[in-house]
Structure 1
Amino acid sequence: YKEQNGNITIFGQIPIHNQLTTDQLVDLATQRPALLREADYVNARLARMPLPDADLANDSAAAVTYLEGLWRFVGPLEPMHNSLKANVLYNMLAHQRKLGVYDSSRFLAYLELPRHSGYMQRDRMSRLQRERAIWVDVNYTPFVQISLPPIGDDEPLVREFLIELLKDAEDASRFQDLFEARWLDAVFAESKILHGVGTPAQWSSRLGPDAYRSLLERIELDFAPQNPAYFKPGQPVELAVDVKRVDKLLVKVFEIQTFNYYTTRQTAIDQAVELDGMIASSERTVDTVAEPSRRMRHRIALPEIKTRGVYVVELIGNGVSSRALLYVGHLEAISQETPAGLAVMVLNEAGETVKDAAVWVDGREYNAGDKGLVLLPFTDTPGSRFAVLRSGDFCSAQQLYLPEEVYAFSAGIHLDPQNLPRQHRGLLILRPDFRIHGIPLDPALLGEVKVTLTAVDAKGVSTAREFKATFARNTEWTESFYVPDALRSLSVAVEAKLKRKRDLEEITLNDQRRVDLNPARGGDTLSQVFLVPAADGWRLEVRGLSGEPMSAVPLSLELNHPGFNRSVSIQASTDADGVVVLGPLTALSRITVAGPGNLRLDRVLTGAEVVWPELLHLKAGEIVSLPYPQDRHVDLRQVSLFRQRGETILADCSALVTLKDGELRIEGMEPGQYQLVSHENDRRIRLDVAEAEAGSGYLLGKTSRWQQTGNRLPSVAEVSEKEGTLRLRLRNVTTGTRVAVRVARYVDPESAFPEGYGFTSPVKRGMLPPYAQYANGRRIGDEYRYVLERRSLEKFAGTLLERPGLILNPWELRETTTEQERLKGDQDYASARQAMADASVETGLSVYGGAGSGVGGRGQSVDIGYDFLPQGSQWVLNAVPDKDGVVTIPLGGAPEHTMLDIVVLDRFGLSQFRHLRPYQTFTPVDQRLLSGLKPDAAFSRQKRIRSLAAGEQVTFSDSATTRYRAITTLGQAFDLLQVLSGNATVLEFAFLKNWPGLDEAAKREKYGKYACHEVNIFLSQHDPDFFKRVIKPALACKKDKTFVDRWLLETLTTEDLRLDRLQQRNALELALLAKRGGDARQMQAALREAWELLPPNPDAFARLVRTALQSGDLDKPVDGFGSAEDEMIVEEAKDKSLEMKKLALRPSSRRLNGAGGLTEASKSDAVPMEERDAMMAPSAAP
């Protein structure tokens, strides 16, 4: 159409045209009628026509109703759409014929459309040609979304309609303007003759001699179009047959042994099934004597077809055969991956689970378990398989997709930056997600879960700590750790073991994540902007590295509203407290701040995040309840609900949506496909509403199976905080519902919680039952005809000679040289394969559906970290609601934290919103160097190792200039040995750390595998009883004893104690002699002399001390010393000789390897010598 400015616009040229609803398109055509002449507009209207849940090719009643709706729109269109009109009318007439309806008005409307056809009147065609009529294209295929087949050759349908409509007419004048007169007279005469009106000779003049003779001699044996397409079990089977010139009709019924057929041929049964050599289940003759010229309709009852099965009904008469392939009942399969394989549920035609089902696939049959599920193992060659579904003697064929055993694992790693101030306890959170082909599995199935936490400091030195984890369903796994100084990054690696079902091979699943921390501290950045949400107004804080407020800092602010493209710019400056008061910031979505130097901040203002499913299945009239965060500004314009077909919008149904009290509620949806759109973040949910009954976990429609989904997700109905206690009331609580709460001060760039699982996409699969197939008018051979007719004649006495077997049994399977008439190609039953639905076809969306941030990217900024916070963010996890859906959580003391991130979780979903407290100030933790260097003093940087007796204490005057580590347990000593040695073999002896916790069998098993001198010495000191009972007798029986063996048995010889052999002893042997059997002073002297002969290596010593210090950074308690002591180490410290203790305490930079029983190590940077000496002196002060 032409615009007022003269521009010509074609419908569909602008993208918004494709987004218009049906009502909008109708209004548009009312204002611009010229649109009805545009094909794109007409197609857009056709695409929005209601489409029933029915197989239109076989459900003629539903097809006629649908086509009537199309015709109401198509009928008034202009002639340029004649091909579309003819196609709609032709398909409507074809389906009406199957219903036994012959609508003359629709038939005339079809005939009046211009077409090139041999039966059309020549004069009329010439006139239409002169008038430049728009001719019907019989090969025209309509718009793809209405899926109507082309017309093709329409003469058989036209002839049948005329024969039916003219049988009672006095003449054919009603149609004389449309058809050629001779052709119409011939059809008129044929109608009268076939229906027995008058005598055949009365109408012979309208037919030529040849045509008249051909009509009289014509043999018809055809199944009527009105026969059912499907038979239910228990339904009486009766077939309508049109018969002409057949006096006796032979009715043969064959029941196919479906299991044998399917497993042998591995193909579906169709009407071309070979019956040679098969014996009919029943056989009888029906008398159909009538005038040879008349066509008579007979109804043949088949009472022998009572039970489920596949039957072939063959009718034979007067040399013609017709066949019907009937399916009575059917089985279908729905499959889903599980940890043990592919679980197949077999349903009968009523949608009920078949408890005694079996599935045959790849030459093997698998039976159902107690719950009616058939478990098929995984395969090395995934792909589609021909499967046979079996229930008793009845079978159906279907395609099944056998998957490979492929697992996916995500640990859901989360580290909260505000939870990681230096010298505090940090919290590692894992929300494991374990799946196979997108189907969630219980993470408890994972074994030997190992979590490795690696910290890297500002100097690039890494420290690692390993945890053993046990996962549980619907539970977050947590572990606390000590946050070391100068932290720059944390890396988490999760490794789990799983035994594969297919071959029992153990496989490893991995996930990892790295979080960079305090990156700005490595440069010249000295300050940062922080965003503080508060109930009495949001604020910006500008703080330095030590948390000191920075006043008079000019800032440029940009505020964004989701309803506008442009942002609002504001200039501000911090006050004396380094604060800019912003106010409530209601309905705003984002703030961007820029200041002098590197001051940058970009934050999303809403704390709301929701993980919605991408696809929901529900029954008509069912209510949908989804979480909608309470702190999000409620406005109906935030969401829209559209009824759709594919990507085509049919109607705007947003009035069905309500937002209130943290809930998005939808009710009143009619059957169809809908899409819920969140305009804030362009999130979309598809909702399929079915007019179906529920059964076996599915919605069972006429042509589809929808896997049922949970359409009421947990959400918070009420939240309150009073006297340090948070109270939440939840709705739609499930068994996996739990709550997590994070108490913090500042808004971070990332989400407050790992989004985790996300919803699986529910299965939707088409269901096409096997339909009956009818084949008419096959000519049988003359020989077979003779045999059949001869068998029906009266029997007379004859010769006693052997009868020719070929004639009496035409289907005897033996070699013969007799020439036989074979059925020609056009006389075979045409093969019409049944469509087999795939039990594994999913028409849903992506496997991992819905896991996504509610607001997209959450912004970035320069990060100097949160070391100045007196207390990091606090977490409460795995809080479970009571029977009333109420969760009560006591919150610890941290008044400076003004923000509560409340997260509601269930098995798949997540909803998060923010609850605010009034603004509070706090005193930051001073990060400066308290003890400065004295300009008139000498300084040194020292590394020392000290051994403390049990109960002895040490005091450090300035923790900012001192780094230390206390080795107080056997486990810590072992871990340090492993780190310093760098020998992976040491890890195999980790069982010694928990030796007292092992039972007798485990001790013997471990000792039998790892017996050696080192283990013998260790157990002689730490488990004397086991040593005496197990080890000592074994050593006493050794033929050739070593020095260590004799020392352990206390049977040292004079040769062992000779002083001239001390130089040949290694350090271990000298230490053993010093403890028992030798002169301790001489042993110490020998050790010292050997050590002093080694050249000093201060760099290696410094590296070892640094490694020893940092290897325990992640497990250091906040107070510096462990509260639990290893009892064996304490006792060993008491037994140490004074000489060895003095040797260990000697301040030599080369005593690391000689200091037995490390219990404490300290290092200080740039401390005055006199202060260091005072620190090292014995002190009674705690």
Structure 2
Amino acid sequence: MFAESKIVNMSGDMEEWVAMISQYAYQALKDRVDIDFACSNHAFFSATDPVTLSLYIKNVQTLMIKIYEINTLNYYQSHHKEPDTTINLDGLSPMHEKIVTYDHPPFLRNLETFTFSEINKPGIFVIDFIGNGKNSRALIRKGKLFFTERIGPQGHEFKIFDETHRIKTNAVIKFEGYEFKPDNKGIITIPYTTKPVYQQVIIQDNYFCSFSGFDHLSEEYVLKVGFYVDRESLLSGMTSKVLIRPHLMLNNQPISTLILKDVNLSIESTDTYGVSTTKVIPNFDLFEDQESMYEFRVPENLSRIHFALSANIKNISRNKVEKLLDNTEFDLNGIDQTDIFESLLLNHEDNTYTLEVLGKNGEPRIHRSVDIILKHKYFRDRISVNLQTDNNGCIQLGPLDNIEWIKASCTDNQPYTWNLVRSNVFYPQTINGYAQDSIQIPYISPDNQPPLVSLFEKRGTGWYSDCRHAITCQQGYIQINGLSPGNYDLFIKPKILISQFVLMMGFAIKIFWWVSTGH
């Protein structure tokens, strides 16, 4: 191999290298024909880039070069796939051809670079290099069209861009004999289908086409409603309020609730004797920027109240009106249906937990024995204690740091269980931003101390540089300023965020959860 390398590069004493190989290998090396592409060639060219190719040529006296232009629209419509170097060119005339002659020795493997000024527009081209019985082929992709997609109320909404991320306001999308054109904002809307499928499409801008695809979804609506009632206001004969916040989802994407028709609110109340009454409020008003509110009178002996919000919506793809519904219910005064005459309540105020034992009328139950079980996050075994209420019917439990849940019961009553909710921050999987912009990430610190934070720039699979100089912590936020485009990993102890994303002219922050374990 060493000798052959020296011979084909005509380097050093040729007689010395020839003596190192057999006569048969010498003859085979002399007869070998090379038309090989260099590894430095580009895999893709922008629409304005000059097309150049480098090849290693050996033992070729006459090299014929033929350039073919592929009709991308016809090819995609016929084959439904991207072309490759095995494409059949029978019957296709070259758009340009030329012959290059060489007088190099048959042993010399020479690097030649070719520039193709004839390829001066977007498209897909095939270049054949033919010489001394050997054929090498290159498939040139010059330019690219792609789209961004969002879920809209009328269908899939697309915007077409070229390889330089410039929007193409005249581009169209074609599939199955249909052509979808953009509106005056450059948005192409494709209606939903009744048969969801991955749809292959052709993106066309004038004569140039690219091949792509998307998940063609059906038109699926879901109504999710949040109902809130202050339970302490549900007193017999008094007036209470219910707050309603609807969320309309189309294929898991939020859309405006203003397209809902015939909105009705239903309130069903059930008393302790099992008698139910229902009130329907027709044409109930919904708002985009605030909750809807309705006042109602609380019935006597109320044990359960049920709220339901229903509405109609036109399903365009199915050409029918669908009814959407969401509901919830609240149980109360359950103690009236039992022989229990006291209840346990857990209060949290000023970072202190207090357990109260109250009678049915709210009177404190003093000197009551209470069995308490606590679960510490760092220990497998549970903590069991027996405590007694004071003269106010209370048991002071303190801050309960690192306690996950607490269970309490009086001697003759059912147990009550509370999962202790701590302040928390829910981070998105990916945080994207533009270079040099300021990024704010919230954090919660029980002791009002700034968190321990590390920020590293990532290149490839490893970290490249420490970027903690870009971090400041103030007013409950981690601020990151002055980063260059790239990928970054942000470590926040005791929590970390995980994700990775790359943006042109922007940056993404990758955050991980950092979980502590007890010993």
TM-score (norm 1): 0.39
Structure richer in helix, relative to its length: 1
Instruction: State how far apart, in whole Å, the 1-side matches of 2:57 and 2:352 are.
Output: 90
Letter in 1 for 2:140: L
Counterpart for residue 480 of structure 1 = 295
Q: How does 1:332-731 map to 2 (within 5 A)?
A: 332-468=146-282, 469-534=284-349, 539-557=354-372, 571-576=386-391, 578-580=392-394, 582=396, 585=399, 587=401, 591-598=406-413, 600-604=415-419, 608=423, 612-618=427-433, 624-627=439-442, 634=448, 661=475, 663-665=476-478, 667=480, 671-672=487-488, 685-688=497-500, 690=502, 692-694=504-506
Aligned in 2, Cα 1:674/1:692: closer, same or farther, shift over 3 Å?
Answer: farther
Instruction: State how far apart, in whole Å, the 2-side matches of 1:572 and 1:399 are.
Output: 66
Structure number with greater Rg is: 1
Q: How does 1:751-830 map to 2 (within 5 A)?
A: none
Counterpart for residue 1143 of structure 1 = none
Counterpart for residue 755 of structure 1 = none
Instruction: State how far apart, in whole Å, the 2-side matches of 1:649 and 1:245 are.
Output: 45
Q: How does 1:165-180 map to 2 (within 5 A)?
A: none
Whether 2:130 is the aligned partner of 1:316: answer yes
Instruction: State how far apart, in whole Å, the 1-side matches of 2:18 and 2:233 are.
Output: 102
Whether 2:63 is the aligned partner of 1:273: answer no
Q: Count the aligned residue pairs.
A: 502
Instruction: State how far apart, in whole Å, the 2-side matches of 1:246 and 1:609 are.
Output: 71
Kindly provide the CA deviation profile for residues 1082-1114 of structure 1, in whole angstroms up to 9, marking residues without a partner as x: xxxxxxxxxxxxxxxxxxxxxxxxxxxxxxxxx
Instruction: State how far apart, in whole Å, the 1-side matches of 2:428 and 2:20 are.
Output: 71
Kindly provide the CA deviation profile for residues 105-124 of structure 1, in whole angstroms up to 9, marking residues without a partner as x: xxxxxxxxxxxxxxxxxxxx
Task: Work out whether residues 558 and 591 of structure 1, in 8 Å CA contact, stay in contact via their aligned partners in 2.
Answer: yes
After TM superposition, give the deviation of residue 402 of structure 1 in Å. 0.9
Kindly provide the CA deviation profile for residues 31-57 of structure 1, in whole angstroms up to 9, marking residues without a partner as x: xxxxxxxxxxxxxxxxxxxxxxxxxxx
SS at match of 2:498: strand
From 35, 44, 49, give the equivalent of 1:221: 35
Instruction: State how far apart, in whole Å, the 2-side matches of 1:456 and 1:649 are.
Output: 63
Aligned in 2, Cα 1:353/1:587: closer, same or farther, shift over 3 Å?
Answer: farther
Task: Work out whether residues 240 and 299 of structure 1, in 8 Å CA contact, stay in contact via their aligned partners in 2.
Answer: yes
Structure richer in strand, relative to its length: 2
Instruction: State how far apart, in whole Å, the 2-side matches of 1:559 and 1:633 are.
Output: 24
Letter in 2 for 1:593: A
SS at match of 1:671: strand
Task: Work out whether residues 366 and 376 of structure 1, in 8 Å CA contact, stay in contact via their aligned partners in 2.
Answer: yes
After TM superposition, give the deviation of residue 508 of structure 1 in Å. 1.2
Instruction: State how far apart, in whole Å, the 1-side matches of 2:487 and 2:454 are.
Output: 14
TM-score (norm 2): 0.83
Task: Work out whether residues 258 and 286 of structure 2, in 8 Å CA contact, stay in contact via their aligned partners in 1.
Answer: yes
Aligned in 2, Cα 1:394/1:666: closer, same or farther, shift over 3 Å?
Answer: same
Task: Work out whether residues 473 and 479 of structure 2, in 8 Å CA contact, stay in contact via their aligned partners in 1.
Answer: no
Whether 2:145 is the aligned partner of 1:331: answer yes
Instruction: State how far apart, in whole Å, the 2-side matches of 1:365 and 1:442 are.
Output: 28
After TM superposition, give the deviation of residue 324 of structure 1 in Å. 0.8
Aligned in 2, Cα 1:614/1:475: closer, same or farther, shift over 3 Å?
Answer: farther
SS at match of 1:432: strand
Task: Work out whether residues 51 and 117 of structure 2, in 8 Å CA contact, stay in contact via their aligned partners in 1.
Answer: yes
Instruction: State how far apart, in whole Å, the 1-side matches of 2:105 and 2:129 are.
Output: 20
After TM superposition, give the deviation of residue 328 of structure 1 in Å. 1.1
Instruction: State how far apart, in whole Å, the 2-side matches of 1:402 and 1:284 are.
Output: 46
Instruction: State how far apart, in whole Å, the 1-side matches of 2:401 and 2:126 are.
Output: 70
Task: Work out whether residues 616 and 685 of structure 1, in 8 Å CA contact, stay in contact via their aligned partners in 2.
Answer: no
Task: Work out whether residues 435 and 505 of structure 2, in 8 Å CA contact, stay in contact via their aligned partners in 1.
Answer: no
Task: Work out whether residues 456 and 462 of structure 1, in 8 Å CA contact, stay in contact via their aligned partners in 2.
Answer: yes
After TM superposition, give the deviation of residue 481 of structure 1 in Å. 0.9
Letter in 2 for 1:671: N
Unpaired runs of 5+ residues, structure 2, are 512-519
SS at match of 1:411: strand
Instruction: State how far apart, in whole Å, the 2-side matches of 1:313 and 1:246 are.
Output: 17
Aligned in 2, Cα 1:614/1:296: closer, same or farther, shift over 3 Å?
Answer: closer
SS at match of 2:264: strand
Instruction: State how far apart, in whole Å, the 2-side matches of 1:625 and 1:573 are.
Output: 48
Counterpart for residue 108 of structure 2 = 294
Instruction: State how far apart, in whole Å, the 1-side matches of 2:327 and 2:314 are.
Output: 21
Instruction: State how far apart, in whole Å, the 1-side matches of 2:338 and 2:457 are.
Output: 55
After TM superposition, give the deviation of residue 391 of structure 1 in Å. 1.8
Task: Work out whether residues 357 and 389 of structure 1, in 8 Å CA contact, stay in contact via their aligned partners in 2.
Answer: yes
After TM superposition, give the deviation of residue 346 of structure 1 in Å. 2.2
Task: Work out whether residues 620 and 691 of structure 1, in 8 Å CA contact, stay in contact via their aligned partners in 2.
Answer: no
Kindly provide the CA deviation profile for residues 147-199 of structure 1, in whole angstroms up to 9, marking residues without a partner as x: xxxxxxxxxxxx4xx3xxxxxxxxxxxxxxxxxxxxxxxxx1x3454334589
Kindly provide the CA deviation profile for residues 831-874 of structure 1, in whole angstroms up to 9, marking residues without a partner as x: xxxxxxxxxxxxxxxxxxxxxxxxxxxxxxxxxxxxxxxxxxxx
Instruction: State how far apart, in whole Å, the 2-side matches of 1:575 and 1:196 are.
Output: 101
The percent identity for this pair of structures is 24
Letter in 1 for 2:36: D
Task: Work out whether residues 421 and 483 of structure 1, in 8 Å CA contact, stay in contact via their aligned partners in 2.
Answer: yes
Unpaired runs of 5+ residues, structure 1, are 1-158, 163-187, 700-705, 712-1182
Aligned in 2, Cα 1:295/1:659: closer, same or farther, shift over 3 Å?
Answer: closer
After TM superposition, give the deviation of residue 615 of structure 1 in Å. 4.2
